[in-house]
Structure 1
Amino acid sequence: MPKVVFPLDNSKSFTDQQIVGHNRWHPDIPAHVHVKPGDTFRVDCREWFDGAIHNDDSADDVLNAPLPGVHVLSGPIEVEGAEPGDLLMVDILDVGPVPQEDSGPLAGQGWGYTGIFATQNGGGFLTEQFPDAYKVIWDFRGGVATSRHIPGVSFVGIVHPGLMGTAPSANLLATWNAREQELIDTNPTRVPPLALPPLPDSAILGTLEGDEFNRVAREAARTAPPRENGGNQDIKNFTKGTRVFYPVFVNGAKLSMGDLHFSQGDGEITFCGAIEMGGFMDLGVDLIKGGMQTYGVSENAIFMPGTTDPQFSEWLAFSGTSVTLEGKQHYLDAQLSYQRACLHAIDYLVKFGYTPEQAYMILGAAPIEGRLSGVVDIPNSCSTVYIPTAIFDFDVSPGKGGPHQVDPGRGVPKASF
């Protein structure tokens, strides 16, 4: 096992650890872990809510989840010799749930969860159709996820970090804040909001204290969206064996990571749509000096996916076009067409006995594939959702005998208020 450079004690909260991480992006958050190019090391990661979600049959914790405090990230990790303009090469050597802890109160200790957020808490991809808070608990055994809340479904985990990236420069941070505030100002009372501005409340900034903490907390960017530094990209193919190339914007690069997922469908469509968990990452790092200019990577991460994804050979696919449920035509709106494809898949699974919420959770947590299938044929874009048929323990394809009927069991817990 590689040396653990960022350890977490699962009996303590994130802010009571030997090394305290962070939940905001800012170049002045100090790095208390230092590695060299060529090093390999292990990083422990806490699930993004730091234990606020519980292994039970109530969704009240999802309804009241402490969103201002996410994501709790391990880092920053300074890479010796990294300078602005370099590319930081990160190899994901291994990633998984909490090692040797198959049971416990924290997600990652033999279990994880998927949630649908209520609209007032950010909603999800289909928040107009699913405005309330729900939760599903998944159990891990032998690398396979099953749930007491969704019968008839099991699949191999496609374990990956939802969030990883480098620190922004001061100029890049200012650009983020300005452009996102400009968007917010177009509709400042929208629910859910158009973007999340800096928020000192619940900020975790490593070892910063006093006036410096207050300054950074006022400026630091929230970790919710993906940005030029990588960030919360939620790419399910960041599995074991992946190599990622991140732009370096500050000396030392200041790499951070977290938000581990046991599995996820493309898009993480319920917002809390992956199977969220804590765990570990084994990483290797190296540098390509001047690589941003050499390879034209100025504002994006690029990656080579790992080769450990579960291999499915049969799929059931659903398409959607850029027309609203009310019949209004939109012009090449790929997000709308993906929403319609997801809704078509949900309508189909309901015919097999699942509740709409169970079907929605399947699309968020299982390793579905989402594709832009047509983006040039005006006025309709076409998006598709591919569901691997092997995740069901019955034949889910259409047939002359009609759909198999699943007993939905206890169903998906809904928040009580």
Structure 2
Amino acid sequence: MPRNVFPLDSTTTFTDQQLTGHNRWHPDIPAQVHVEPGDTFRVDCREWFDGAIHNDDSADDILDAPLAGVHVLSGPIAVEGAQPGDLLIVDILDVGPIPQEDSGPLAGQGWGYTGVFATRNGGGFLTEQFPDAYKVIWDFRGGTATSRHVPGVSFTGIVHPGLMGTAPSPELLGRWNAREQALIDTDPERVPPLALPPNPDSAILGSLTGADFDRAAAEAARTAPPRENGGNQDIKNLTKGSRVFYPVFVDGANLSMGDLHFSQGDGEITFCGAIEMGGFIDLHVDVVKGGMATYGVSENAIFVPGNTDPQYSEWIAFSGTSVTLDGEQRYLDSHLSYQRACLHAIDYLTNFGYSPIQAYMILGAAPIEGRLSGVVDIPNSCSTVYLPTGIFDFDVKPGKNGPHRIDPGAGVPHSAA
């Protein structure tokens, strides 16, 4: 096992560990660990809510989730010699649930969860159809996920970090805050909000204290969206074997990571839509000096995907176009067309006995493929969602004898907003 440079004790909260990570982006958060180019090391990561979500049959914890405190990230990790303008090479050598802990109260100890937030708390991709809070518990065994809340489904996890990135420079942080505040100002009362401004409430900033903490907490960017530094990209193919090239904006790069997922469908469409868990990630790092200019990577990481994905060979696919549910035509709106494709898949799965929310949870957690299939044929974009048929315990394709009917069981825990 590689040297663990950021260990976490499962019996202790995130802020009471030997090393304290962070839940905001800011250039002044001190590096907790220093490594050399060429080093291989392990990092422990806590589930993004730091244990606030429980393995039970209630969704009240999702409804009341401490959203101001996410994501709890491990880091920053400084890579000696990395300077602004370089590219940081990050190889994902291994990633998985909390090692040797197959049961316990923390997500990652043999289980994980998928949630839908209430609209007032951010909702999800289909928040108009699912405005309340829901939760599904998934159990892990031999790399496979099953759920007492969604019967008849099992699939191999595509384990990956939902969030990894480098620290922003002061100038880049300023641009983030300015442009996101300008967006908020166009509709400041919108529910859910258009963006999340800096919020000192529940801020964790590593070892910063006193006036330095107060200043940084008022400026630091929330970790919810992806940005030029990588961040919360939720790319399900960023798996074991992947190589990522991150732009470097500060000395040492200050790499951080967290939000591990046991599995996820393209888009993480329920917002809390992967199978969330804590665990570990083994990394190797190196530096391409001057790589940002040499390769034209001035912003946003590029990566080589890993080759450890489960190999599903048969799919059933659903398409959607950029027309609203009430028949309004939109111009090449691929976001809308992907929503419509997902709604068609949900409607289809209800013919087999699933409730709409059970079907929605399948699309969020299982390794579906989402694709932009046509973005030039005005006025309609076309998006498609590919559902692997092998994840079901029965034939999910249309047939002459009609759909197989499953027993939906107790269903998905629900907490009304």
Asked if these proteins are the same fold (TM beyond 0.5), I'd say: yes
Gaps of 5+ in 2: none
Amino acid at match of 1:313: S
CA distance in 2: counterparts of 1:406 and 1:85, whole angstroms? 55
Q: Deviations over 1:118-147 (max 9, x none)?
A: 000000000000000000000000000000
Q: Which residue of 2 aligns with 1:140?
A: 140
Q: SS of the residue aligned with 2:155?
A: strand
| 1:158 aligned partner, one-letter code | I
Residue 412 of structure 2 corresponds to: 412
1:394 paired with 2:394, answer yes
Is the 2:87–2:247 contact (alpha carbons within 8 Å) kept by the matching residues of 1?
A: yes
2:416, 2:361 → 1: CA distance? 19
2:190 matched to 1:190? Answer: yes
Aligned amino acid, residue 281 of structure 1: I
Match in the other structure for 1:320: 320
1:32 shift after superposition: 1.8
Q: What amino acid is the match of 2:362?
A: I
Give SS of 2:24's match. Answer: coil
3-state SS, counterpart of residue 331 of structure 2: coil
For 1:396 and 1:351, the matched residues in 2 are separated by 10
Look up the equivalent residue of 1:221 and give its one-letter code: A
Deviations 1:181-203 (A, max 9, x none): 00000000000000000000000
Task: Give the partner amino acid of 2:354.
Answer: Y
Aligned match of 1:54? 54
The equivalent residue for 1:288 is: 288
1: CA distance, partners of 2:6 / 2:216: 23
Give the 5 Å matches for 1:10-409: 10-409=10-409
Tell me which amino acid in the other structure corresponds to 2:318: F
CA distance in 1 between partners of 2:103 and 2:32 (Å): 30
Percent sequence identity over aligned pairs: 83
**What is the Cα-based RMSD across aligned positions, in Å?**
0.5
User: C-alpha separation between the residues in 2 aligned to 1:398 and 1:214?
Assistant: 59
Tell me the amino acid that sits aligned with residue 371 of structure 1: R
Residues of 1 paired with 2:246 and 2:266: CA distance?
21
- SS of the aligned residue for 2:152 comes to strand
Shift of 1:156: 0.4
Question: d(CA) in 1 for partners of 2:70 and 2:97?
Answer: 19
For 1:197, what is the secondary structure of its paired residue? coil
The alignment partner of 1:173 has SS state of helix
Deviation of 1:404 after TM superposition, in Å, equals 0.5
In structure 2, the residue matched to 1:5 is: 5
Contact persistence 2:319–2:344 (CA under 8 A): yes
Asked whether the equivalents of residues 132 and 414 of structure 2 are also in contact (C-alpha less than 8 Å), the reply is yes
Q: Give the secondary structure class of the aligned counterpart of 2:414.
A: coil
Structure 2 length-normalised TM? 1.00
Matched to 2:12, the amino acid is: K
* Equivalent-residue separation in structure 2 for 1:381 and 1:360 (angstroms): 22
Instruction: Write out per-residue CA displacement over residues 337-356 of structure 1, whole angstroms, 9 at most, x where no aligned residue.
Output: 00000000000000100000
Whole-Å separation in 2 of the counterparts to 1:171 and 1:111: 41
Structure 1 runs of 4+ aligned residues shifted over 3 Å read none
Give the Cα–Cα distance (whole angstroms) in 1 for the partners of residues 400 and 378 of structure 2. 36
What letter is aligned with 1:112? Answer: G
Report if aligned partners of 2:132, 2:416 keep a CA contact under 8 Å in 1.
Answer: no
Deviation at 1:86, TM superposition (A): 0.2
Within 2, Cα distance between the matches of 1:232 and 1:207? 22
Question: Which digits, 9 at most, give the CA deviation of each residue in 1:286-338, with x for residues without a partner?
Answer: 00000000000001100000000000100000000000000000000000000
Counterparts of 1:135 and 1:374, CA distance in 2: 33
Q: How far apart, in 1, do the equivalents of 2:299 and 2:35 lie?
A: 24
Equivalent AA in structure 2 for residue 45 of structure 1: C
* Amino acid in structure 2 at the alignment position of 1:242: S
Q: Distance in 2 between matches of 1:376 and 1:237?
A: 26
1:292 & 1:326 partners in 2: Cα distance?
A: 46
What's the TM-score once normalised by structure 1's chain length?
1.00
For 2:79 and 2:2, the matched residues in 1 are separated by: 17
8 A contact 2:30–2:76 mirrored in 1: yes
1:406, 1:329 → 2: CA distance? 36
Contact 2:266 2:370 in 1 (8 A): yes
**Offset of 1:416 from its aligned partner?**
5.2
**Aligned partners of 1:293 and 1:144: how far apart in 2?**
42
SS of aligned partner of 1:124: coil
CA–CA separation in structure 1 for the residues paired with 2:269 and 2:366: 11
Counterpart CA distance in 2 for 1:378 and 1:67 is 39
| Residue-by-residue CA offset, 1:98-135 (whole Å, 9 max, x unaligned) | 00000000000000000010000000000000000000
One-letter amino acid matched to 1:246: Y
1:150 counterpart SS class: coil
2-structure distance, mates of 1:92, 1:291? 20
Read off the aligned partner of 1:10 and give its amino acid letter. Answer: S
Q: Distance in 2 between matches of 1:318 and 1:61?
A: 33
* SS of corresponding position for 1:152: coil
Q: Partner letter of residue 316 of structure 1?
A: I
State how far apart, in whole Å, the 1-side matches of 2:133 and 2:243 are: 36
Matched residue SS, 1:176: helix
CA distance in 2, matches of 1:281, 1:192: 32
SS of aligned partner of 1:211: helix
